[in-house]
Amino acid sequence: MPTLPTPPVLPLDLLTTIQERRTVDLSALKPDPIPRPVLEGLLEAANWAPSHGQTEPWRFVVFTGAGRATLARTLSTSLVLLKGQTEPDPETLKMQLARQQLAPVWMVVAAEPSEKPRMPLYEEQWAVACAVQNLMLAARSQGIGSKWISNPPSLHPNTASSLGFAEGAIMMGMLYLGYVRDDPADWPAGKRRPVREKVRWIEDEQHQ
């Protein structure tokens, strides 16, 4: 009997995508690479985030394949600098290299305000957060898991300078991405309290 081709992953509708986007553990990811056109599509989704004044401050550096070793070396150096040392020891570098191999794609994210910013810096950071959310939702719609990390090494000035971000860039952490293994349990179930607990409605004029 001939083997049937694997059906393509169909994008989810928007509300389902929002409800089912979850942080996915590294252990739940397949090692399969994500094709470059798919990654470019996710970055295109990020590029349509809102930004006050149309500043578009989001910046990404993408690491795949052997390029992940560059990120591992950078983070190892940032980690030891945080500890007051200057060079990563072999064990630290080995551990970081192993960690970067657990996801096929890593992205370091920053906000790069203009030299003469017209908007408050916090608004530039908010815009980047919107871009990251766009990217993670687009990923979820195609069966790709993600996690946004903002640990000290990813935010360190050494990480910014080593990866070529502009002077004055505000580091916003990093993401990892990967296709999720076939076990449905690898997609964590989400839970939220009722939205009515978090909303107040004012439908008539209030007199003080």
Q: Give the span between the Cα atoms of 161 and 73, in whole angstroms.
A: 13
How are strands ordered across the β-sheet holding 144-149? 58-64, 105-111, 170-179, 144-149
Taking residues 49-67, what's their average pLDDT?
A: 95
Question: Which carries the bigger pLDDT value, residue 172 or residue 143?
Answer: 172
pLDDT digits (tens, 9 = 90+) for 90-99: 888 999 999 9
In this prediction, residue 7 carries a pLDDT of 47
Long-range contacts of 189-196 (CB under 8 A, 24+ apart): 189/22, 190/19, 190/20, 190/21, 190/22
Identify the weakest region by mean pLDDT among 5-14, 46-55, 191-200. 5-14
The proportion of the chain whose per-residue pLDDT surpasses 90, expressed as a percent, equals 67
Neighbouring C-beta atoms of residue 29, cutoff 10 Å: 23
pLDDT digits (tens, 9 = 90+) for 29-57: 999 999 999 999 999 999 999 999 888 99
Whether pLDDT at 155 is above 60? yes
Asked: is 14-179 a CATH 3.90.79.10 domain? The reply is: no
In this prediction, residue 88 carries a pLDDT of 80
Q: Are 114 and 56 in contact (CB under 8 A)?
A: no
Band (198; pLDDT cuts 50, 70, 90): very high
Full-model pTM: 0.86
Whether pLDDT at 8 is above 60? no
State the number of CA atoms in the 13 A half-sphere of 74 facing the CB.
23
Taking all residues of the chain, what is their mean pLDDT, rounded to a whole number? 89
In this prediction, residue 204 carries a pLDDT of 86
Band (206; pLDDT cuts 50, 70, 90): confident
Question: Which carries the bigger pLDDT value, residue 22 or residue 207?
Answer: 22
Query: How many angstroms separate the Cα of 116 from the Cα of each of 55, 56, 82, 119, 120?
Result: 11, 14, 30, 9, 11
Q: Domain-by-domain residue ranges, the chain?
A: 14-179
